[in-house]
Chain A
Amino acid sequence: MNKIKFSVVLLSVAALFASCEDREPLSWNTEIFLPLVDDNITWSSSIPDSLLEFGEGGEPARMLYKIPFGEFSADYLPTLPDTLIEENMSMEGNLPSDVPVPLGDLFVNETDEIVFSSFGEGSDAYLKEFSLSAGYMRLSVESSVQGILDMAYYLNSVTVDGVMSGIQLEVPAAQDGVNGFATETLDLAGAIFDLSGENGFSENVMTSTFTTTGSTLNTEVFYLTTTDSMLVEIELIDLTIETAKGYFGQVDIPFDSEVTLIDTITIPNPVLDLEGASAKLIIDNYIGAELRLKFDEVSMDDQLLEHPSLYGVHDIARAYWIDETLINHTSLELDLGETGSNIFDLIETFPRDLAMFGSVQLNPFGDVSLGHDYINNAYPPKLELELEIPLKLGLDGVVLEEVYIIDPMNFPKFDGRLLVDLTSTFPVEVIADIDYVVNDEDGTIVSISGNIDAGSAYPEVSQHGLLVIPLNEETVSPGGSVHVSLTASTEGAVTFTGYENVRVQIRIEGTQLIEVD
């Protein structure tokens, strides 16, 4: 009986938990705040940071152009052409009869002088020493001798890390009428060439030693016959001089260069106020030789720069080197804005490029250093145009056009808005035009415009504009693109400190309905 009672109790309680009814889908709203874009538009969008020097205390920023002319560099270095030294050692006439070759002993030992006849084109340059940053030597030997030969070719006056440079080669024996051939390559990067000869007072002279030995690898005695010959080729290839000492000659090197000026500045209809602007041409000479600079033509956007003194001859003293250490370099500064120059008239037109034609002459006074010219390729001479323009300008038009992509979003029954916040410290009124182009079949465009009042970067006063585009599920689900266009217009030139910016923030706010079946 007790068990029955207990079972009744259990079943009854279990019934309490039973519930089975039809239900409708569960749904609720969630509120969404979704940041999409936070972009800060500053002068960096128009002017590279490296060009802009910010103005402090309300002073105008300054655009600083330091434009290097790269052409003033390696052309001054003496050049070493690829060189082939070929020697055909024929026994014919040198041997009365076939002679046995002693194994392990030298039977050819030849020391030669290699004379470099010219460095550079037609110059009277000579070198006493130079070092290479790259290059290699290749030794190739073709032999008709019917025995294995050990050969070596050394450049006696060339060292790498203090060790004489050379190649050792094992030339196989000629067999069945086929000459033995061997070749080997030596990397000469870092090699120092002493061209002062064996006596130490010459120049352009390099000594080499060539030796041949009957290899001990031969198992039988072999003979050097009267018909034998050995063709030895030494190639010096792709030699690139790093440093050089000597006399570099009196050579004229023309230069013809063109540099881009301010094409990165995307300012509509700009008007520059150039009061306080400066323009200089600076030449720094790091070569241990005098330079003579001569400008034939300087132009901006094909308009000739008029200048009272630029087109004369400009001599620049040699840099001062001691034991391959630069003590100081020499400089020449030419004021392009001096009275009589029209450079600022040219700059007011926002020229896109600047072109220079002329020539530079090395050692215009001859070998005054008595062979002590010095150059280090790591220190090329520099020619820079230095323009300093205060950021006082007027503008009129679209200053920024930006497109921000909005990815598709699955927000069911969304009801909300796309908010575009614009915060500006630009001291001009900015008109903002926003288009939200929906990625639907019709390419629906929702447009809205608004004004942002003029702010100030110093003292900092931000002006805010909020543009609201209504969104629903149909416009938010496929995603789209937000086209932001900012237009500004000034009356005359306005001073900018460089700290001005417009912050663009785009976000979505709204509610969606979540349903769970």
Chain B
Amino acid sequence: MLDYRLIFSTTFLALCSVASSANILTVVVNPDSTEIKREKGGASLSFWATQNGNVISTGFANNLANGGFIGHDILDPILESHTGGFGYVGGSVGWEKVWTSKPFKGSDLALCGSMGSEALYDVRWTSDMFELLWYGNGGHTGRVDVFSGTGVRAGVFNRFGLGLESAKTQQRLEVSVIQRLGGVEWSIPYGYLWLSEDADSLASYLQTEGRLHASIDSTDSGEPSIGFLPSYGIGISGTLPLASETLPIRFEINFKDVGLLFENEGSSVAWFQEGFSTTGLPLYGDSLTIESISNGDLAPDSLLFTGSSVKRMTLLPSRLSAEFVYEPSEKFMFQMFVKSGGWMPELLYSAGIGWIPSDRIALGVEGRYGGWGGLRSAVWAKWRYSNRRILVVQIESPLGLFFNKEISNNTYGRGVTFRLERIASKR
């Protein structure tokens, strides 16, 4: 019996393929135009939720969710997929409203702005850490297990930007105020574990730091109460579209929230550093042990140094992207983009093709690589449901949405984006 979600997806995509004759992707800026109509510019409202990873497959996640014994037949493919030495999982959930007003009277400049919220998370670990956790240190004799680079961070950001957009060129520049409502960070900047070939001596060093960007107060009952500890930053965002007058190509550079976050004092900070070298491992006490690593039950009461952070500046999760679109005919388009930032550990590359069967419907498929994940697919559909309004649905790794189904086992992420667009009027 087919799953209802599979039926829904198929039906949805079939509906989207109903074609009409008009091309909706020809809303291209004409730089030669000198006639400025004072109509509202483009706008969009987006919602998205994405999650990607490069080694943790949905099948493995299903196994973890279902419980039971995790054998080497399950773990080995995951370990082998740590090709770059690191495993990543990350993603974001959020919404964003982007708008452009009518141009100022007698000018081609228009007031523009954007606002939105986003929860970002980023988890990364070394393959040695994964192996130590799931396999133990049995196969690790005579080599150094590296922990450096392992970490977790998450944050909730609200943003509001205001700027100007050229109605003629659609070049846009905003100044954004970004609020980090709360967040958490933990990382191991430097750490290793070494066990000699004969498993007769051991050396370890670990530096780790954790920060909780929240305000913690003691209540009358003694239970800590956690509240928001917002910090504010300022950044610039903008769009630089370029279109050829003679060739059917477009190029667009986007940057978002390039700036600094001025972190308030008062974040809870925990830090410890531990190093030891021994020929007989201390099993209990203040030292870090294999056992405590394996069990995850570190009891670092005497290792921890805790306190509150002072004010500091840190980078915003800025994003930078460049997109290239080639439209050889009214029916087809080729699209490529590269994105960076947003806490992604690697550049995200994408290349795809779009089919425009009518002026109301467009469909596309992309291959993506990078960001938090490996090679994956994405499909999108655009439905022009009124003269200037388009609904865009984009699904990344669609099979990954089918949790707990075998069909999703070999996927490493999933993502859904909905966007309502109002097209800028032709000028």
Contact = CB atoms under 8 A, between A and B. Distances in A.
B5 A31 contact: no
Interface string B135-160: 11111110000000000000000000
B106 interface: no
B279 A37 contact: yes
Interface stretch (A113-121, A168-176, A236-244, A406-414): A406-414
Interface of B is mostly: mixed
Nearest to B386: A2
Contact of A10 (B68, B138, B202, B418): B418
Contacts of B134: 28, 30
B384 to A, nearest CB: 11
A15 B5 contact: yes
Contact of B138 (A12, A31, A409): A31
A29 B391 CA distance: 49
B279 A38 contact: yes
Interface in A219-234: none
Contacts of B199: 33-35, 507, 509
Interface stretch (A16-24, A147-155, A261-269): A16-24
B294 interface: yes
Nearest to A40: B279
B201 A31 contact: no
B330 to A, nearest CB: 26
Interface of B: 5, 8, 12, 47, 64-71, 75, 133-141, 195-196, 198-202, 278-284, 290-291, 294-295, 385-386, 389, 391, 393, 401-404, 416, 418, 420
A421 interface: yes
Nearest to B391: A6
A38 B280 contact: yes
Nearest to B282: A407
Given A27-B68, A407-B284, A32 B136 contact: yes
Residue of A13, A15, A511 contacting most chain B CB atoms (<10 Å): A13
Contacts of A511: 136, 138
A37 B138 CA distance: 17
B290 A505 contact: no
A35 to B, nearest CB: 5
Contacts of A2: 385-386, 389, 391
B202 A35 contact: yes
B413 to A, nearest CB: 13
A9 B137 CA distance: 48
A21 B404 CA distance: 10
A19 B404 contact: yes
B66 A27 contact: no
B418 A408 contact: no
Nearest to B198: A505
A34 B290 contact: yes
Given A25-B67, A28-B75, A408-B284, A33 B291 contact: no
A26 interface: yes
A84 interface: no
Residue of A19, A24, A32, A37 contacting most chain B CB atoms (<10 Å): A32
Contacts of B389: 2
A36 interface: yes
Contact of B291 (A35, A410, A506): A410
Given A407-B283, A411-B291, A33 B66 contact: no
B420 A6 contact: yes
Contacts of B385: 2
B136 A31 contact: yes
Contacts of A421: 198, 200
Nearest to A32: B136
A461 interface: no
Contacts of B5: 12, 15-16
A19 B65 contact: yes
Residue of A10, A35, A511 contacting most chain B CB atoms (<10 Å): A35
A421 B134 CA distance: 28
A37 B280 contact: yes
A28 B281 contact: no
A-B complex: 4 closest residue pairs judged by Cβ atoms? A31-B138, A30-B136, A38-B279, A31-B136
Contacts of A33: 136-138, 140-141, 195, 199
A32 B67 contact: no
A514 interface: yes
Contact of A9 (B141, B404, B418): B418
Nearest to A10: B418
Contact of A514 (B200, B283, B294, B420): B294
A32 B65 contact: no
Interface in A487-515: 505-507, 509, 511-512, 514
Contacts of A27: 68-70
A480 to B, nearest CB: 12
Contacts of A36: 280-281
B127 to A, nearest CB: 16
Contact of B295 (A25, A28, A408, A410): A410
18 contacts: A2-B391, A9-B393, A15-B5, A19-B403, A19-B404, A23-B67, A27-B70, A30-B135, A30-B294, A33-B140, A34-B199, A34-B290, A35-B202, A408-B283, A505-B200, A507-B199, A512-B136, A514-B295
Contacts of A38: 200-201, 279-280
Contacts of B295: 410, 514
Contacts of B200: 35, 38, 421, 505, 507
A409 B278 CA distance: 17
Contacts of A24: 66-68
Given A16-B401, A407-B284, 13 more contacts: A12-B8, A13-B416, A16-B402, A26-B67, A28-B69, A32-B138, A33-B136, A33-B195, A37-B279, A407-B282, A507-B200, A509-B138, A511-B138
B281 A26 contact: no
Nearest to B292: A410
Contacts of A29: 71, 136
A26 B135 contact: no
B196 A35 contact: yes
Nearest to A405: B280
Contacts of A34: 199, 281, 283, 290-291
B418 A6 contact: yes
